[in-house]
């Protein structure tokens, strides 16, 4: 839980420092617009992303691949890693606004799973922590909305799931496991380009 608290504190600090009010300059009753000159470091919208909170209704809980099904102990099984709540997000950092280095960005995609359910046996509203699933990487913007991306993915089991949970526990290393990928992303229809300071 200390890691989660530190992560949330760091993210909130970044958001607090990057938020600033926007003002318009009014001259002779008309708004004057001057071409925006991007700053070399920490340009406008250098941090961007989103957060998402989801609730899975009963009989639809995400299976994190940790517990055997059907459980050996039925409703008494100690392996209950079927999530009820998902807290996720995506954040990009692009701190350089000029020079060719402006095309580089870092990204972080965390997902927290909470719950305590056994499909067909036990459905609860518990918010017990289950897993911290994250992807982190670096990207480079190319012309025509293409990006090169290097991503590393990892899952950490939280709370009681950091230890073995009996016979129903498959002891997996989380959804999709530990991996690294190199890929190309193409965005179309203007998606993802609104806040980026590094246009070609």
Helix (H) or strand (E) run with residue 10 in it? helix 2-18
* pLDDT of the residue at 199: 55
Q: Hey, is 21 helix, strand or coil?
A: coil
Domain layout of the chain by residue ranges: 43-186
Output the CA torsion sign for 140, 142, 145, 146: negative
Residues 6+ apart with CB under 8 A from 165: 67, 78, 79
Q: Whose CA is closest to 42, among 106, 112, 98?
A: 98
Q: Hey, is 139 helix, strand or coil?
A: strand
Q: Rounded distance, CA 142 to CA 184, Å? A: 10
* pLDDT of the residue at 10: 55
* pLDDT of the residue at 42: 76
What is the per-residue pLDDT across 54-102, written as a single tens digit (0 to 9) for each?
999 988 999 998 988 887 777 778 888 899 999 999 999 998 878 888 8
What is the per-residue pLDDT across 167-193, written as a single tens digit (0 to 9) for each?
888 888 888 889 999 999 998 887 765
Burial tier of 13 (Cβ tally within 10 Å: 0-12, 13-18, 19+): exposed
Q: What is the mean pLDDT of residues 149-176?
A: 89
* pLDDT of the residue at 77: 83
């Amino acid at each position: 839980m200390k890691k989660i608290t530190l992560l949330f504190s760091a993210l909130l600090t970044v958001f607090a420092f990057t938020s600033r009010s926007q003002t318009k300059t009014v001259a002779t009753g008309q708004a004057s617009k001057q071409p925006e000159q991007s700053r070399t470091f920490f340009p406008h919208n250098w941090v961007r992303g989103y957060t998402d909170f989801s609730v899975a209704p009963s009989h639809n809980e995400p299976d994190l691949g940790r517990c055997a099904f059907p459980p050996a102990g039925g409703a008494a099984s100690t392996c209950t890693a079927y999530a009820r709540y998902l807290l996720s997000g995506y954040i990009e950092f692009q701190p350089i606004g000029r020079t060719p280095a402006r095309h580089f960005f870092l990204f972080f995609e965390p997902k927290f799973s909470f719950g305590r359910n056994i499909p067909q046996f036990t459905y609860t509203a518990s918010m017990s922590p289950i897993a911290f699933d994250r992807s982190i990487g670096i990207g480079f913007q190319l012309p025509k909305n293409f990006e090169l991306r290097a991503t590393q993915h990892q899952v950490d089991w939280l709370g009681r799931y950091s230890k073995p949970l009996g016979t129903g526990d498959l002891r997996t290393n989380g959804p999709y496991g530990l991996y690294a990928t190199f890929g190309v992303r193409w965005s179309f229809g203007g998606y993802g380009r609104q806040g980026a300071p590094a246009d070609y």
